[in-house]
Amino acid sequence: MAIEVGMNGRLFHLHTKDSTYQMYADEHGVLLHTYYGKRIDGENLADLIFQADVGFSGNPPEAGGNRGYSLDCLPQELPSDGVGDYRESCIGLVHEDGSMAADFRFEGYRILPSSYKVKGMPALYDTEKETGSTLVITMREKASGAVVRLLYGVFEEENVITRALTVENQGEGDLWLTKCLSCCLDFQFGEYDMITFAGRHAMERSPERTRIRRTKLEVSSRRGTSSHQYNPAAILCAPEATEDFGDCYGMCLVYSSNFCVSAQKDQRGQTRAVMGILPEHFSFCLRKGEAFEAPQVILSYSDHGFSGLSHQYHRILREHMCRGKYQFAKRPVLLNNWEATYFNFDKEKLTALAKQAAELGIEMLVLDDGWFGKRDDDNSGLGDWFVNEKKLGGTLRELGEEIHSLGMKFGLWFEPEMISEDSDLYREHPDWALTIPGREPNRGRNQLVLDMSREDVREYLLERLTDILKNAPIDYVKWDMNRSLSDIYSHVYTGNRNGEVAHRFILGVYDLLERFLERFPDILLEGCSGGGGRFDAAMLYYSPQIWCSDNTDAVNRLSIQYGTSFFYPVSSMGAHVSAVPNHQTGRATPFETRGHVALSGSFGYELDINKMTEEEKHLVREQIADFHKYYTLTHEGTYYRLTGLKERFCAWEFVDEKQDHALLTLVMTSAEGNPLPVHTRVKGLAPDKAYRCSENGHVHSGRTWMNGGLTLSKVPGEYESVLIEWEAI
Ligand code: DGJ
């Protein structure tokens, strides 16, 4: 049983294959968090809690004379606010009388035989292969009409537990919600490190590992997107945890806007980690009977180190978050014209690219920015989603049909959430942009942001997208988003409701995406926000692949794709071969290496293929053959990081489900005189099977390969790479 209830409906176990999460509603209705970790049996672990009179940690009235009972010390599921727990709270309230206490106590529970949904937001869903189950625990605020429903989902086979919650106003007057975090994890004992994924535009998601102490560790986004700078996913792990060993807990927020995740030790050395919507600039007014739904957090535990944790996230996100035709269907090899032409293209250039691409075996041409309105640079035109037939030398249908006649698919770029001041749309509807009356707005890439919380804005965008897609044969859409939000003020949710706008904005984006996909279910959608500025679990619900970074330098991509792989599957990372010197870094890397790095992602090209040498064209054919040969491994196989980023080379590996076939990629990141040998580990093989290695033809058992590893017969030069296969014989 995934969900077990005992002790007269007060002791709850959420069991997955290898983990257990335990809670206990004590005699005062406080919902204690008593255990999360390796699977255990059904005994109540509330007796692990050590109660003592801790000075300056007061006692709730129902504790009577028991000075050892303090909310400030107990491990809890829904920590209170303003009533004696001085640590991080989850819910902030302002009641009608201006008081701010939030003290929730257990009222009851329900079990549902399927997964729960979060209204207007993505969440993990059930499949034929695995149906989740749900525990709903109702918590009532002690002295008001506020009611919280804690939602726990269990995916037994996937070792995943989810958390979300709703806050409902069952009182008479208005209730202001000023903080609403989705998840709290309390650990009474032990030392932990926290790993977050930080970076900047074109250098996203570098892991940073820090010991959790009493200084609060927090990363957050207040950009209205999940952001390039910090990702809404974090790992808590034992200090000794490595790729292969040790306790690891993952927290992954299914949300694409302002978030926070923090961890801190309290006065007694207990650790509390919380995750959810960033409380800053957030407040929601709940009128009588209204409810607020907070986004889902996907939790997972593994005692097999980061690899074990990553495998669990890759599986759950691929199978229960990604959707649609291309969730499992083979993705086409694409050529994107952005780094080939930027805004400077016409019909001849595009068709010349398409012809050459078709000859080389590329399967789709993607027409990027600049095909609509007045848009020959990035200063104008956003919002005017009308085809610029003059620039295209004809209709979009004609262009699309010509590309289709070459046996290729056709893809198109949009940036629906944005508006240029130099656009007909802005001239007609200036109030559709997020701007604060009386202030000149900040610009990003010289553009403003549309108020996606508005129904009329979304209607306009849906109508424009529909018109374009109905009138041309389009197989793929790249959905871009090229600035952070600022000047957040809606001309609809005016006055004191503006604390709702950032959240309503992202609900609006999700609504538009959902309705768009309902109309065009066969479209392959690729998410993008200046590369990886909105690379999060929620966006995978709509787009099974996301342009991983605007940085296409193969060496920088090693760290970007490495960091991304801790939570997100390789099949979701858009990765392209581009020209050298690289446009972002100026670095030159071999064509083979660029191919090898891009093959570990949703593969494509982004360069002027008509300027390639015959030798390079030959390599493109070879790379595309490799793409097809290794597709099952790279898109469906189990992925292993074999090195960190500080070594002389970076290596990773894929193994197929049957453990018959493995593929290792190794890229030298530095060169030295009189080089030392390159020896690499091998993982994931079946110990008792015999495998032949393509590098030296040697046959060993999986056990021997995994323990002895492989020494390359030649040390590759700087930035050179190798692909090595193991085949079971
Ligand atoms: C940012 C994207 O990440 C690029 O790939 C490209 O589509 C540009 N926007 C176009 O403006």
What domains, with CATH codes, occur in the chain? 3-320 (2.70.98.60), 325-547 (3.20.20.70), 649-728 (2.60.40.1180)
Does residue 413 line the site of ligand 1, with CB under 6 A?
yes
pLDDT mean over 605-628: 98
- Maximum pairwise Cα distance, the chain: 86
Counting ligand 1 atoms within 8 A of each CB, the residue from 228, 337, 338, 382 with the most, and so the one to mutate, is: 338
Q: Closest residue (by CA) to atom 10 of ligand 1?
A: 369
For residues 3 and 13, the answer to whether their CB atoms sit within 8 Å is yes
CA distance 184 to 489: 30
- The pLDDT, as a whole number, for residue 495 is 81
For residues 54 and 72, the answer to whether their CB atoms sit within 8 Å is yes
> 614-636 and 591-599 helices cross at what angle (nearest 10)?
20
C-alpha 400 – ligand 1 centre gap (Å): 21
Counting ligand 1 atoms within 8 A of each CB, the residue from 368, 376, 415 with the most, and so the one to mutate, is: 368
C-alpha 721 – ligand 1 centre gap (Å): 28
pLDDT mean over 571-583: 98
Q: Closest residue (by CA) to atom 1 of ligand 1?
A: 530
Q: Closest residue (by CA) to atom 2 of ligand 1?
A: 530
- The pLDDT, as a whole number, for residue 153 is 98
Band of residue 1 on the pLDDT scale cut at 50, 70, 90:
confident
CA distance 205 to 631: 25
Does residue 639 line the site of ligand 1, with CB under 6 A?
no
Does residue 578 line the site of ligand 1, with CB under 6 A?
no
Compute φ and ψ for 184, nearest 5 degrees: -130, 130
244: left (phi over 0), alpha (psi -120 to 50) or beta: alpha
Helix/strand/coil for 708: helix
Candidates 613, 670, 89; CA nearest to 360 is 613
pLDDT mean over 377-382: 98
- The pLDDT, as a whole number, for residue 464 is 98
The dihedral formed by the CA atoms of 59, 65, 67 and 73, expressed in degrees to the nearest 10: -40
C-alpha 530 – ligand 1 centre gap (Å): 6
Which positions ≥6 away from 466 have C-beta within 8 Å? 519
- Return the percentage of the chain with pLDDT > 70, whole number: 100
CA distance 451 to 488: 9
Alpha carbon of residue 590 to chain centroid:
31
Which residue out of 126, 290, 616, 622 is catalytically annotated?
616
For residues 293 and 120, the answer to whether their CB atoms sit within 8 Å is yes
For residues 546 and 579, the answer to whether their CB atoms sit within 8 Å is no
Alpha carbon of residue 585 to chain centroid:
26
Q: Closest residue (by CA) to atom 11 of ligand 1?
A: 369
Is the pLDDT at 494 greater than 80? The verdict is no
For residues 546 and 534, the answer to whether their CB atoms sit within 8 Å is yes
Tell me the residue length of the chain: 729
pLDDT mean over 273-291: 98
* β-strand partners of 200: 203
Is the pLDDT at 496 greater than 90? The verdict is no
Q: Reply yes or no on whether 18 is catalytic.
A: no
What is the tens place of the pLDDT at every residue in 589-601? Answer: 999 999 999 999 9
For residues 602 and 571, the answer to whether their CB atoms sit within 8 Å is yes
C-alpha 624 – ligand 1 centre gap (Å): 24
For residues 428 and 373, the answer to whether their CB atoms sit within 8 Å is no
Q: Tokens representing 434?
A: 């997020």
C-alpha 377 – ligand 1 centre gap (Å): 12
Does residue 530 line the site of ligand 1, with CB under 6 A?
yes
Does residue 338 line the site of ligand 1, with CB under 6 A?
yes
Helix/strand/coil for 718: coil
pLDDT mean over 259-279: 98
Candidates 269, 281, 91, 264; CA nearest to 185 is 264
C-alpha 607 – ligand 1 centre gap (Å): 14
- The pLDDT, as a whole number, for residue 155 is 98
Which positions ≥6 away from 430 have C-beta within 8 Å? none
Helix/strand/coil for 264: strand
pTM score of the predicted model: 0.98
Q: Reply yes or no on whether 459 is catalytic.
A: no
Q: Tokens representing 694?
A: 């393509």
C-alpha 369 – ligand 1 centre gap (Å): 7
pLDDT mean over 11-37: 98
Contacts of 38-43 with CB under 8 Å at 24 or more apart are 38/247, 38/301, 38/303, 39/15, 42/4, 42/6, 42/11, 42/13
Counting ligand 1 atoms within 8 A of each CB, the residue from 478, 482, 583 with the most, and so the one to mutate, is: 482
Which residue out of 536, 550, 553, 592 is catalytically annotated?
536
C-alpha 668 – ligand 1 centre gap (Å): 29
For residues 406 and 356, the answer to whether their CB atoms sit within 8 Å is no
Counting ligand 1 atoms within 8 A of each CB, the residue from 201, 550, 551 with the most, and so the one to mutate, is: 550
For residues 379 and 370, the answer to whether their CB atoms sit within 8 Å is no
For residues 88 and 97, the answer to whether their CB atoms sit within 8 Å is no
Does residue 550 line the site of ligand 1, with CB under 6 A?
yes
Mean pLDDT of the chain: 97
Is the pLDDT at 346 greater than 80? The verdict is yes
